[in-house]
Amino acid sequence: MVKKHICLVHGIMGTFSIKCATLAMIIFWVGFTSMVRADCILDHDQDGDLDGQDVAVFAASFDPACLASLAGLFGSTDVSADYLPGDIMAPWEGGPAYYAAWPNGLPADDTFFPIAVWLQAPENTATATAYKDMGVNLHIGLWQGPTEAQLAAVAALPSAAICTQNTVGLTSVNNSVIKAWMHQDEPDNAQNGTQDPVPVQDIIDLYQQMKRQDPTRPVYLNLGQGVASDPWYGRGNRTNHPEDYPLYAQGADILSFDIYPMNTFPRPESDPPWFKAHDNVVAQNIWYVASGVDRLRQWVDYAKPVWVWIETTNFDGDDRYAMTPTHVRAEVWMALIHGARGIGYFCHQFSPTFIEAGLLANPEMSAAVADINAQIISLAAILNTPSVENGVSVTTDDPNIPVDTMIKRYAGFTYLFAVAMRPEATQAVFTLRGLDGSQNVAVIDEERVLTAEQGRLEDVFDGYEVHIYKMQTP
């Protein structure tokens, strides 16, 4: 690894806040000696180049409360207004600033949050417009493309795409809509009737090749169910080999995965044990979405954005299918609360009849997804900030029914995001650090106002229910 003049290791900084005085000295030296260039920063993405992505990770590593103090030295204290003394920031991939490394990549705008659909034809004007009206801002995967017609259709919406790198994509007059190049889908699964996934080195080599062809866009990789479940038998000979994933992660700048618990059902007792080891455990247990986010973020060392795909349809027409809008909303917010930086919807129905835009064929689910997206968009600037790791603790009246949380501070307000992780109801008690006295707490989009006393807030959760709270930061 190349290190010159100053080399600050992100893994250390992600755990310990740098002392403000030390950081001030570093910034003073950088600013006044001009001795530190981009190659002074650890090559965090391990791509052999020291680029804007590494700078974004480097900058995101500092404790915002510490940076706030430094900002005051230079006449600005805007950052400090959002944080409390003693706030410890959770690991952070850099937010929208991460994408600034690529001139033709995704927007480095704090009001943008990736909301995608998978393999939904943009040239079908009716469905593409319906998705856009629902808040979708990315088409990921262009069937047998990109073709000129597909790119023109994306441009006409207007929207954006992530697609395979080919000659059309590299040269099209409409290629400004392409925001990232993508690998084949789920290379970690067994391929082409064999028991072997795509070798990790092949993915890394293709990543380097795509970067050489076009360094102005990031590379995207979607992985399969093995991210969330080691016994996923779709990996063939690499089932129960999670150690592969940190290596796959070296082959992309943006990573995602899919797991579909509500389309997974228990196996008959007579089925082979390797089927039951996955299906009987994951079936109907939507918290595997959150688990997959946790695992993949750890495997990328919290240095690259992790996105997740959400199920919205009855894939195979199974009579046991029981997914409702409540499940979809819970899966989305479980992912976001656990640190997902983008959301995608899998919309297909395969049986009893094939419907590419299966989500749109279900008015109730379509309306629910539109509402979820509208809420994400309205909260994008807040979601695009680091989380406070020590901002809240929570207990429930049944420890077997946990409620998971995320704390954000933004523009003078504290936001508490909470989701019940099981299908049963529970009552939660939140203890919010730094809140004194009596505080009104608005429950966003519910027309309720609660009261927190000395930082103690109580609320009831139905199974898989989501609540988002807003209160003034002291």
Q: Are 333 and 417 in a shared domain? A: no
Domain end (from 50, 72, 89): 89
149 alpha-carbon distance from chain centroid: 30
Q: Are 143 and 278 in a shared domain? A: yes
For the chain, the helix, strand and coil percentages under 3-state DSSP, each to the nearest 5: 35, 20, 45
Side by side, which strands form the sheet with 392-396? 392-396, 426-432, 456-461, 448-453, 438-443, 466-472, 413-420, 403-410
Model-level pTM? 0.85
Q: Are 60 and 126 in a shared domain? A: no
pLDDT value, residue 29: 34
Domain holding 279: CATH number? 3.20.20.80
Q: Are 58 and 116 in a shared domain? A: no
Domain end (from 36, 60, 89): 89
Tell me if residue 284 falls in helix, strand or coil.
coil
The stretches of 272-324 forming alpha helices (DSSP H) are: 273-282, 288-299
pLDDT value, residue 80: 53
Q: Which residues contact 384 (CB under 8 A, 6 or more apart)?
A: 95, 96, 110, 111, 112, 113
In a domain, 210, yes or no: yes
In a domain, 5, yes or no: no
Q: Are 358 and 398 in a shared domain? A: no
Would you say 359 and 136 are in contact if contact means Cβ atoms under 8 Å apart?
Answer: no
> For the chain, how many structural domains are there in total?
3
- Cα–Cα distance, 57 to 60 (Å, whole number): 5
The stretches of 384-437 forming alpha helices (DSSP H) are: none
- Cα–Cα distance, 219 to 250 (Å, whole number): 11
Residue 376: in which H helix or E strand, if any? helix 363-378
Q: Are 117 and 146 in a shared domain? A: yes
Q: Which residues contact 283 (CB under 8 A, 6 or more apart)?
A: 261, 264, 265, 266
In a domain, 4, yes or no: no
Q: Are 232 and 371 in a shared domain? A: yes
In a domain, 264, yes or no: yes
Domain holding 430: CATH number? 2.60.40.1180
Would you say 408 and 388 are in contact if contact means Cβ atoms under 8 Å apart?
Answer: yes
* Phi, psi for 395 (deg, rounded to 5): -125, 155
pLDDT value, residue 94: 84
Q: Are 204 and 61 in a shared domain? A: no
Q: Are 286 and 236 in a shared domain? A: yes
Question: Measured on CA atoms in the order 417, 53, 200, 169, is the torsion positive or negative?
Answer: positive
pLDDT in tens, the chain (474 residues): 332 222 333 333 333 333 333 333 333 333 333 333 333 334 444 455 544 444 444 433 444 434 433 333 333 333 456 899 999 999 999 889 999 999 999 999 999 999 999 999 999 999 999 999 999 999 999 999 999 999 999 999 999 999 999 999 999 999 999 999 999 999 999 999 999 999 999 999 999 999 999 999 999 999 999 999 999 999 999 999 999 999 999 999 999 999 999 999 999 999 999 999 999 999 999 999 999 999 999 999 999 999 999 999 999 999 999 999 999 999 999 999 999 999 999 999 999 999 999 999 999 999 999 999 999 999 999 999 999 999 999 999 999 999 999 999 999 999 999 999 999 999 999 999 999 999 999 999 999 999 999 999 999 999 999 999 999 999
- Cα–Cα distance, 220 to 307 (Å, whole number): 10
pLDDT value, residue 81: 67
Q: Are 186 and 270 in a shared domain? A: yes
Q: Are 401 and 452 in a shared domain? A: yes
Class of residue 436 by CB neighbours under 10 A (exposed 0-12, middle 13-18, buried 19+): exposed
In a domain, 297, yes or no: yes
Domain that holds residue 21: 10-89
- Cα–Cα distance, 46 to 261 (Å, whole number): 33
Q: Are 298 and 372 in a shared domain? A: yes
Q: In the numeric block, which tokens belong to residue 198?
A: 């795509």
In a domain, 3, yes or no: no
In a domain, 1, yes or no: no
In a domain, 73, yes or no: yes
Domain end (from 383, 411, 442): 383
